[in-house]
Chains A and B, each alone.
Chain A
Amino acid sequence: MGFYLAQLLTGLANASSLFLIACGLSIIFGVTRIVNFAHGSFYMVGAYLAYSLVTWMDGGIFGFWLSLLVAALIVGVLGLIVEVTILRRIYHAPELFQLVATFGVVLIVQDAALAIWGAEDLLGPRAPGLARAVRILGEPIPEYDLALIVIGPLVLGAIWLLFHRTRWGILVRAATQDREMVDALGVNQRWLFSAVFVLGSALAGLGGALQIPREAVSLQMDLSVIGEAFVVVVIGGMGSVSGAFVAAVLISVLNAFAILIFPQISIVLPFVVMAVVLIVRPYGLFGRPGSEAGGAEEPEQPLRLMSRRGAMVLAAFVLILAASPAVTGDFTSILLVDVMVAMLFAVSLHFMMGIGGMVSFGHAAYFGVGAYAAAMGMKYLGLSMLPAMALGPVAAAGAALLFGWFCVRLSGVYLAMLTLAAAQILWGVTYQWGEVTGGDDGILGIWPAGWASGDKAYFYLAMVLCVGGMFLLRRMAHSPFGYGLRGVRDSAVRAEAIGMDVKLHQWMGFTVAGAFAGLAGVVFVFSKGSVFPDVLGISQSVDGLIMVLLGGIHALAGPILGAGVFILIEDWVTRLDYWRVIFGGIILVVVLVAPDGVAGGVDRLLRAVGIRRGDAT
Chain B
Amino acid sequence: MLKVENLTARYGRAQILNGVSLELGGNEVVALLGRNGAGKSTTMKCIMGLVEQKTGVISYDGADLMRLPPHMICRAGIGYVPEERRIFPELTVAENLEVGRRPKRDGAPEWTLAHLFELFPNLAERQGNLGKQLSGGEQQMLTIARTLMGNPSAVLLDEPSEGIAPVIVEQMARVIAELKAEGLSVLISEQNLYFARAVADRAIIIEKGALRYEGSFADLDAHPEVSQQYLAV
Contact = CB atoms under 8 A, between A and B. Distances in A.
Interface string B91-132: 100011011111000000000000000000000000000000
B90 interface: yes
Nearest to B96: A174
A170 B71 contact: no
A189 interface: yes
A182 B99 contact: yes
A180 interface: yes
Contact of B90 (A180, A185, A186, A288): A288
A173 interface: yes
Given A170-B99, A177-B89, A177-B90, A186 B69 contact: no
Interface in A64-104: none
A173 B88 contact: yes
Given A170-B99, A299-B12, A183 B69 contact: yes
Contact of B89 (A183, A189, A290): A290
B232 interface: no
A440 B166 CA distance: 71
B91 A185 contact: no
Contacts of B147: 185
Interface residues of B, number: 27
Given A178-B86, A184-B70, A188-B71, A170 B48 contact: no
Contact of A183 (B12, B71, B100): B71
Given A170-B95, A180-B70, A299-B12, A185 B89 contact: no
A164 to B, nearest CB: 8
A174 B89 contact: no
Nearest to B103: A186
Contact of B91 (A177, A189, A300): A177
A187 interface: yes
A185 B12 contact: no
Interface string B139-150: 000000011001
Interface in A127-180: 167, 170-171, 173-174, 177-178, 180
B165 to A, nearest CB: 24
B82 A181 contact: yes
Contacts of B75: 186
B102 A186 contact: yes
A173 B90 contact: yes
A189 B99 CA distance: 13
A171 B99 contact: yes
Contact of A174 (B50, B69, B71, B91): B91
Interface in B29-71: 48-50, 69-71
B184 interface: no
A151 to B, nearest CB: 27
B12 A186 contact: no
Q: Indicate the size class of the contact surface on chain A.
A: 20 to 34
Interface in A171-219: 171, 173-174, 177-178, 180-189
A173 B71 contact: no
Nearest to A167: B98
A184 B99 contact: no
B160 to A, nearest CB: 16
A297 B80 CA distance: 23
B74 interface: yes
A185 B95 contact: no
A182 B71 CA distance: 8
Contact of B86 (A181, A188, A189): A181
Contact of A184 (B12, B80, B96): B80
Contacts of A187: 71, 99
A183 B70 contact: yes
Interface string A580-615: 000000000000000000000000000000000000
A299 B69 CA distance: 21
Contacts of A185: 71, 74, 99-100, 102, 146-147, 150
A178 B50 CA distance: 13
A170 B88 CA distance: 10
A181 B71 CA distance: 9
Nearest to A288: B90
A102 B75 CA distance: 33
Contacts of B82: 181, 184
A19 B102 CA distance: 35
Contacts of A188: 69, 71
Contacts of A290: 89
A170 to B, nearest CB: 5
B162 to A, nearest CB: 18
A88 B82 CA distance: 27
A172 to B, nearest CB: 10
Contacts of A167: 98, 101
Contacts of A299: 12
Given A171-B99, A188-B71, 13 more contacts: A170-B99, A173-B90, A174-B99, A178-B88, A181-B82, A181-B88, A183-B74, A184-B49, A185-B71, A185-B146, A185-B150, A188-B69, A297-B12
29 contacts: A170-B98, A170-B99, A171-B99, A173-B88, A173-B95, A174-B88, A174-B91, A174-B95, A174-B96, A177-B90, A177-B91, A178-B86, A182-B99, A183-B69, A183-B70, A184-B49, A184-B50, A184-B70, A184-B71, A185-B99, A185-B147, A186-B74, A186-B100, A186-B102, A187-B71, A187-B99, A188-B71, A189-B71, A297-B12
Closest 8 CB pairs of A and B: A186-B74, A183-B70, A184-B70, A181-B86, A174-B99, A177-B88, A174-B88, A185-B100
Interface of B: 12, 48-50, 69-71, 73-75, 80, 82, 86, 88-91, 95-96, 98-102, 146-147, 150
